[in-house]
Amino acid sequence: MGPLIVLVGPTAVGKTTLAINLALYFGAQIISADSMQIYQGMDIGTAKPSVQERRGVPHHLIDLVPPDQPFTVVDYQEHYNQVRSRLAEEGVLPLLTGGTGLYIRAVTQGFIFPETPPDPELRAALKQEAETYGREAVYRRLQALDPVAARKIHPHDLKRTLRALEVTLSTGRPFSAQQQAACQGLPPNIVYIGLRRERTELYDRINRRVDQMINAGLVAEVASLLAQGYGPDLQAMQGLGYKELIPVVQGKTSLTEAVDLLKKRTRHYAKRQETWFRREPVEKWFLLRAGEDEKFYQKILAFLEGRINSMSNRVK
């Protein structure tokens, strides 16, 4: 299969704009790796590329399912493989970008995940345990049962902690033992680059993005989803921007309080993303700076052109 460009980085670092510019230059198409952008009708809070941007550059794996439909990393792998195969047949360069590190790891390193079916009763019991004793308690339980899996999961990532516990307890085998890597490291046809910014600059961009989302109508988007019957307990409605504003729509908190909380949680999320991607096989990091977009675009473009040309020469 031909080359694949992978572009990663924390939320608000500037992936969308750069990916579109690179896709226009290379004649590439973008494959989204965002676990929230898969949901239909959730546009503002997930920072989806605009309709105009998607007209200029085809985007894939956006708007796949309604908010109440379960969607797993295995589902993502299947959709990704279909798109990647089709683009390869058409001779189109794919550009994979997004902030969901697990999705990217699954399709670039070939991870095979346990196909254990959900156990609703066990999951409910574990969730109740977390609510009663705290997420730290269930994380410590995972550390005791499967320390390998625990080391790969952030202590505050309750969703993944509960899933690992559910699989471990329902099968009697550690979650980590049921994961396999189809390949060690990255295949040679992948160019994996990452974007960073200084912490203060990134946090300022996050705060401004949240304000822009509010001005663009995020409260109305959340209200519309609730009015359509998508309940607050849905996995999709637990995403950043939605769980903070649901109480606003319900009249339980003020918009000012919700916005402050959303900014804080988004900053924390960006920090967790940075931690995740530092452990990934990123080939080269680019430290972006405000006001120097064109300079860094040219540096990134030159690096990618060199790598893609070297791949083509090896094939010849």
Q: What is the pLDDT along the chain (316 residues), one digit of tens a residue?
A: 789 999 999 999 999 999 999 999 999 999 999 999 999 999 999 999 998 999 999 999 999 999 999 888 889 999 999 999 999 999 999 999 999 999 999 999 876 666 677 778 888 899 999 999 898 999 999 999 999 888 878 787 788 899 889 888 888 888 877 765 544 568 889 999 999 999 999 999 999 999 999 999 999 999 999 999 999 989 899 999 999 999 999 999 999 999 999 999 999 999 999 999 999 999 999 999 999 989 999 999 999 999 998 887 665 4
For residue 3, what pLDDT is reported?
94
The answer to whether the pTM exceeds 0.75 is: yes
For the structural domain made of 120-178, what CATH number should be given?
1.10.20.140
3-state secondary structure of 195: strand
Burial class of residue 142, CB neighbours in 10 A (0-12, 13-18, 19+): buried
Domain 4-113+182-315 in CATH 3.40.50.300: yes
Distance between start and end Cα atoms, the chain: 14
The domain segmentation of the chain, as residue ranges, is: 4-113+182-315, 120-178
For residue 90, what pLDDT is reported?
96
2 in Cβ contact with 184 (< 8 Å): no
